[in-house]
Structure 1
Amino acid sequence: MDAVLDPRLFVGVFVTLFVIMDPPGTVPIFLALTSSMTSKQRKAAALTAVFVALGVIVVFALFGQSILNYLHVSLPALQASGGLLLLLIAMELLTGKAEDPEPNARGGNVALVPLGTPLLAGPGAIVSIMVFVQNADGAADYVAIFAGLVAVCVCLWLAMRFANVIHRVLGESGTTLVTRIAGLLLAAIAVQMIADAVTAFVKAA
């Protein structure tokens, strides 16, 4: 009997997206963007942002390949460009060169932009999920990919839902440390993506 879910792929999707979307790293950004909101508004913004990010990523997972075919762009090319982009994001995480978002009092708007996209559903997450879908083989793989994505979105929601508590526990130094570690892991993933793309180019030549 075939497995309903590929556990190895699930873990791979979860770890990759967790590092890219960085739930702990969203805590200080979320707090800054929602500083003028009430507790109830902040909870609603967290839920809205997660659903927006999930929707954007699922759309690209389903139709991203069709867009690539229309533009005559190969998956290795997308993978290489995505790896370079992830490397730039990793350098920002490692060096702390992230923009400090200004508080916004316009309620749910910040949950859509910039929180839902591009901060959560950014280019790195979109490229990664497209690569996973492209390499999927069978229903068990698709279930594992979707389950991994949903699990990361749940982690994002929990991080933002309990942002005040997490920020107090980690402190400024703890949050910074987690962000730097995430940057290091993301850099390794980016280099691997570029290496896989080069290998695919060589085999296709």
Structure 2
Amino acid sequence: MALATYALLCFGSLFSIVDPFAALPVFLALTGGQPPESQKRTALRASLTVLVLLLTFGLAGSLIFKFFGITMSAFKIAGGIVLFGLGLEMMRAKDSPMRSTKEERHEAEAKQDVGVIPIGIPLLSGPGSIATTMVLVGKSEGPAQHVAIFIAIGAVAFFTFLILRSATLVERVLGRTGINLIGRIMGLILAALAMQFIIDGVREAFPKLVG
């Protein structure tokens, strides 16, 4: 696979699972009373949280696999199942408990700084985005594709910041219906990606069975 194609695949996969558009209603609910500069700082902290967390798991993924004795094929299957469930929730335009629970959102309402928790973690960078990052790193072939993944993570974090800092404008332009439509499209892409992870994992785990 060409490097540019692989980088685009990584960006599309990660952007679909991070899905900053789906985070807009929660972001506005938690920061709507803040002045623009405070909203901008919260958006920056949330985006940096995404960047740091995904880069960390991208770099440490192989060590985690070795420590727990997990094979890449097993992780692809498990990660695919998790992502498929999340994709179905997104297509139904419902808030998934895998992204954030009601208790976490209620607790966040009493906090002054919500950029890291719950917006950065787990709303934007939760189990799904971590699993996607680690599977993509496992699928990469050579240092160039590894670098492409990290560039894609940086691009996702950057666009997440742009969308969150313009949350009021984006919601006004798209409306709730438009945001839900984008979420459904992202969910469909994510479900297809999850099925590909599962298929690849089964092929690798049972080469004779599916060969």
How much does 1:96 deviate? 2.6
| 134-143 or 165-174, larger mean C-alpha shift | 134-143
Deviation at 1:107, TM superposition (A): 2.4
Moved over 4 A (4+): none
- 1:42 lines up with 2:47 in the alignment: no
Shift of the alpha carbon at 1:106?
2.4
* 1:123 corresponds to: 127
- Residue 26 of structure 1 contacts residue 159 of structure 1 at CA under 8 Å; is this kept in 2? no
Range that drifts further, 13-22 or 35-44: 35-44
Alignment correspondent of 2:98: none
Select 1:93's aligned residue among 78, 90, 93: 90
Counterpart amino acid of 1:156? T
Structure 1-normalised TM-score?
A: 0.90
Unaligned runs of 5+ in 2: 96-100
User: Secondary structure, in 3 states, of the residue corresponding to 2:147?
Assistant: helix
Displacement of 1:138 in angstroms is 2.5
Correspondences of 1:175-194 after superposition (within 5 Å): 175-194=179-198
Deviation at 1:204, TM superposition (A): 7.5
Checking the alignment, whether the CA contact within 8 Å between 2:61 and 2:137 is kept in structure 1 is no
Counterpart position of 1:27: 24
Which residue type is aligned with residue 12 of structure 1?
L
Are 2:203 and 1:199 aligned? yes
| Separation of aligned partners in 1, 2:27 and 2:127 | 19
**What CA distance in whole angstroms lies between the structure 2 residues aligned with 1:94 and 1:142?**
30
Which residue in the other structure is 1:135 paired with? Answer: 139
2:112 is matched with which residue: 107, 124, 132? 107
Q: What is the DSSP-based 3-state SS (H/G/I as helix, E as strand, rest coil) of the residue aligned with 2:111?
A: coil
Distance 2:81 2:176 in 1: 29
Equivalent position amino acid for 2:159 in 1:
C
Contact 2:22 2:179 in 1 (8 A): yes
Q: TM-score, normalized by length of structure 2?
A: 0.88
Q: Percent identity of the aligned residues?
A: 35
The verdict on how the C-alpha distance between 1:145 and 1:111 changes in structure 2, with shifts beyond 3 A counting, is same
The CA deviation string for residues 75-105 of structure 1, in whole angstroms up to 9 with x for no partner, is 1111111111011111211223316744625
CA offset digits 1:28-82 (Å, max 9, x no partner): 2211122232222111010001111111111111112212211111111111111
Moved more, 79-88 or 134-143: 134-143
* In 1: Cα distance, 2:171 partner to 2:3 partner: 34
Q: Which residue is equivalent to 2:161?
A: 157
Superposed, 1:10-25 pairs within 5 Å as: 10-25=7-22
Residues of 2 paired with 1:142 and 1:187: CA distance?
Answer: 24
